[in-house]
């Protein structure tokens, strides 16, 4: 026998047993700040390295997911934020998480569709102007696949015509850039209370 294996077979892969904060966030399908908050609240156990970095045991993450599936959503309703501007997504994520929502981000239409393939969010915040698949096209595709998901659209071009068109196409809300975080949270709470 060697240190790497035994008569029963090779030793388990220790590297896959512990996950970094980023790996845990991807595993759970939420933002890193959400995992940090759950860990700080004691809802998700973490080990701290000598350098102060958090590590999460895969088995505990799986147990956490199992408990949340049995008891409902973990941490609040899930909001998918779709915008090609990373700074704006960060701002929206911070505002929504402070309001009690769990946030998933997508930088465009294709990434948004991939994000909802496994689990549909409770609410979608959708930028109107994006490269590739724009907000109107993504709204139509979301309605075709998940017609009941509420959508709040936003744009730097704020006009009564844009807001009316968003409503006519099935969006439940419209917000102009730059955002007022209170207005955004108020619209989100009307559609999906925390």
| DSSP H or E run through 62 | helix 58-71
Domains: count for the chain: 2
Residue written as tokens 């549909």?
120
Burial of 30 (0-12, 13-18, 19+ CB in 10 A): buried
Mean pLDDT of the chain: 79
Is 70 exceeded by the pLDDT of residue 4? no
pLDDT digit string, tens, across residues 95-143: 888 788 888 888 988 888 888 876 788 999 998 888 877 888 888 888 8
* Radius of gyration for the alpha carbons in the chain, expressed in angstroms and rounded: 20
Q: What is the structure's pLDDT at 182?
A: 75
Does the residue 3 lie in any domain? Answer: no
**Domain check: are 88 and 184 in the same one?**
yes
**Domain check: are 169 and 96 in the same one?**
yes
**Domain check: are 49 and 115 in the same one?**
no
């Amino acid at each position: 026998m060697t240190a790497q294996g035994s008569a029963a077979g090779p030793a388990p892969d220790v590297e896959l047993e512990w996950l970094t904060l980023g790996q845990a966030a991807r595993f759970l399908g939420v933002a890193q700040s959400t995992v940090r908050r759950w860990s700080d609240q004691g809802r998700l156990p973490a080990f701290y390295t000598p350098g102060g970095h958090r590590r999460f045991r895969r088995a505990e993450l799986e147990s956490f997911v199992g408990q949340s599936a049995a008891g409902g959503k973990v941490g609040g309703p899930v909001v998918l934020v779709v915008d090609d501007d990373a700074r704006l997504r960060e701002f929206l994520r911070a505002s929504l998480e402070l309001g009690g929502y769990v946030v998933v981000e997508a930088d465009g239409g294709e990434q948004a569709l991939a994000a909802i393939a496994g689990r549909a969010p409770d609410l979608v915040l959708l930028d109107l102007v994006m490269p590739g698949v724009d907000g109107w096209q993504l709204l139509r595709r979301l309605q075709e696949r998940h017609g009941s998901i509420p959508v709040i659209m936003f744009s730097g071009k704020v006009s009564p015509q844009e807001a009316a068109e968003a409503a006519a196409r099935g969006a439940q809300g419209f917000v102009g850039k730059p955002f007022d975080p209170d207005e955004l949270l108020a619209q989100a709470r009307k559609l999906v209370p925390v």
